Structure 1
């Protein structure tokens, strides 16, 4: 028997969207600047800039870029002090199809629109 020379038609795969758990301090954020050493400046939905650190579990698996929509977990034990940013952990990056679904269903706050973020 010979192999089929054409690709199988890909079926539409269903996917689950991860939402922030508000009671655990999770929220949406947008990467504004990459600082290096797995650290990024993140603009969060509560209109605060934070220093985000990529979680160790996804550090080498998921690559982050400027403008990506991410889920963050703010650190309660480290708050923002004079001249320093508050800190958070980045634990999820949304893919393009997930972002399209979130925007189509109006789940992302308008403050996180890439054109509205003040630099």
Structure 2
């Protein structure tokens, strides 16, 4: 039997940051499916890669991701989405991401 489509492929609409999500850049892998991410609001967060993304999406240092914040611990979160190159350009055009942030992120690497 074929596997069900999980809907993790490219979609027509790019998810944008909201009240409980923030755009971050991956600084380094911490091991055990955890990352250290520098976020647009100036906070460094320990971010977990959930099981549905763990083996389907490869997340490397320098990637731009969307992080869902935890209610009980605002300095931690969970990866919601990994942005591609075209989607990063759309975020810059819409004002959700700045080129200065991307340049500052490259200094951490």
TM-score (normalizing by structure 2): 0.77
| CA distance, structure 2, for counterparts of residue 17 and residue 74 of structure 1 | 18
Aligned to 2:22: 27
Asked which structure has the greater CA Rg, the reply is: 1
Q: What is the deviation of 1:20?
A: 1.6
RMSD over aligned CA atoms reads 2.0
Figure out how many residues of one structure are paired with residues of the other and give that number. Answer: 97
Give the one of 68, 71, 77 matched to 1:88: 77
Q: What is the deviation of 1:97?
A: 1.5
| CA distance, structure 1, for counterparts of residue 40 and residue 80 of structure 2 | 16
Question: Is 1:59 the equivalent of 2:51?
Answer: no
Larger relative helix fraction? 2
- Stretches of structure 1 that go unaligned for 5 or more consecutive residues are 1-13, 80-85
| CA distance, structure 1, for counterparts of residue 17 and residue 29 of structure 2 | 22
Offset from partner CA, 1:70-91 (integer Å, 9 cap, x none): 0001112125xxxxxx211111
| CA distance, structure 2, for counterparts of residue 46 and residue 110 of structure 1 | 15
Q: What is the deviation of 1:114?
A: 2.4
TM-score (normalizing by structure 1): 0.71
Aligned to 1:15: 12
Give 3-state SS (helix, strand or coil) of 1:116's partner. Answer: helix
Offset from partner CA, 1:76-116 (integer Å, 9 cap, x none): 2125xxxxxx21111100011111222234331455x2222
